[in-house]
Structure 1
Amino acid sequence: MDAELFPRSRAEIAPGAVHVPGWLDADDQRRLLEACRDWAGPPAGLRTVRTPGGGTMTARQVCLGWHWYPYAYARTVVDGDGAPVKPFPEWLGELGRRAVADALGAEAATAPYDIALINFYDGDARMGMHRDSDEKSDAPVVSLSLGDTCVFRFGNTESRSRPYTDVELRSGDLFVFGNASRLAYHGVPKVYPQTAPQGLGLTGRLNVTLRVSGFEETSPSGV
């Protein structure tokens, strides 16, 4: 909503985990959405992720820089059309570094970001509790939200169960987690359909997650 009785403010959800509401303005959101639409097209476009046990993730995904599949990285879409992964743009890396500086301070500057995982959620999609642990770098994870509001569940580093904190993420919100919270379990138990800003032109939710791989450039995969 445009006016709120209690405006949202930035909050440290856990040590090293910071929520910054409204970090992307309306123009920035539209530009990022248009880029996501380009990246989602084939080849190496939006796909359904299948787990080793035969299940499927309800959120669909496209990757940039390195292609993630459960539970490793490759330079090609090994679990899809086999095409080379789309390149990671320099401007997106600069956005990630600025996000870390704004959320955690300039001293938290990291090596260049080189991975983006872009997840699309329709109204029924969810994401189970998991850790972002397939990278070799411990640089902070940057999460940007577009479209529908969701419940983002941010947990602890030991298990998928409590204690955790539920945070409402809206379009334009930034969430950064690093340091002691870098390997915290997190997930999306609920998306609220038809809550995207009317002027954005998006039905559903997009989450753009930026990571630093720490991989050697010559390595064919992250393992």
Structure 2
Amino acid sequence: MAIPVEIRGLRYFPGLLDPDAQQSLVADLRKVVAAAPLYAPVTPGGRPMSVRMTSAGRLGWITDARGYRYEPRHPAGQPWPAIPPDVLALWHSLVGLPREPDCCLVNFYGEGAKMGLHQDRDEGDFSFPVLSINLGDEALFRIGGTDRKDPTESFWLKSGDVLLMGGPARLAWHGIDRLRFRSSRLLPGGGRINLTLRVVADGSISPSSS
């Protein structure tokens, strides 16, 4: 296993997934997308996001005019597909807890896509870490502290890199400033896939969905 590097409280595993493991995960994700197609999300203020997304697991993360939340169904109405076993295996290997994630958020970054600084705080229980898996093109990752005004630092994430955001890094502000489009050959058309695995407290589920 790759030796983790500690950066602002997060654990960074560079090159944890070899090329065969990356290809296998992409094949699994194609099945997820076939069952729950990628869609273009908008913020509660109506601003389109530059990423496309979907989810796997018991719940999926949603953003639209009603706000940020978790829902048990895709916007088209069907339940989310199961989280692929190899993705769950990574969670159990690195997190070391019997509790399985409720959501595997799948974000696809095409050319020019980015993600502004944000906190992952819709889960309701921050005692569990967030596991982030990176596949495809290199991305400039920026992380700060728990206050929006804290200074930030950046580094390039490559295909096969994994981040574990727990403890002091669980509520750190973070984002993706830009991609090196077509820097990886993993995805034939270029782009980046990011998976984030989260445990969701039941109180975070949309009341209209229960």
TM-score scaled by length of structure 1: 0.82
> Counterpart of 2:202 in 1: which secondary structure?
coil
**Counterpart for residue 174 of structure 2:** 186
Residue-pair matches, total: 203
**Counterpart for residue 87 of structure 1:** 82
**Counterpart for residue 75 of structure 1:** 72
Q: Deviations over 1:89-118 (max 9, x none)?
A: 4542222121235xxxxxxx3622221001
1:200 CA displacement? 5.8
1:120-135 alignment runs, 5 A limit: 120-135=108-123
Identity over aligned residues, as a percent? 35
1:154 CA displacement? 1.0
1:53-68 alignment runs, 5 A limit: 53-65=45-57, 66-68=59-61
Q: Give the alignment partner of residue 175 of structure 1, picking from 163, 176, 180.
A: 163
Aligned amino acid, residue 62 of structure 1: T
Note if 1:137 corresponds to 2:125.
yes
**Counterpart for residue 115 of structure 1:** 103
**Counterpart for residue 41 of structure 2:** 49
Alpha-carbon distance in 1 for matches of 2:173, 2:31: 30
Alpha-carbon distance in 2 for matches of 1:24, 1:222: 36
Q: Give the alignment partner of residue 18 of structure 2, picking from 22, 25, 30.
A: 25
Structure 2 unaligned regions, length at least 5: none
1:202 CA displacement? 5.5
**Counterpart for residue 8 of structure 2:** 14
Aligned amino acid, residue 86 of structure 1: P
**Counterpart for residue 34 of structure 1:** 27
Q: Deviations over 1:146-170 (max 9, x none)?
A: 11000011111111x4411102100
CA contact (8 A) 1:117 1:209 kept: yes
Alpha-carbon distance in 2 for matches of 1:89, 1:32: 8
Alpha-carbon distance in 1 for matches of 2:101, 2:158: 23
Q: CA RMSD in A?
A: 2.5
Structure 1 unaligned regions, length at least 5: 1-7, 102-108
Q: Deviations over 1:119-167 (max 9, x none)?
A: 00012100011111010222111011111000011111111x4411102
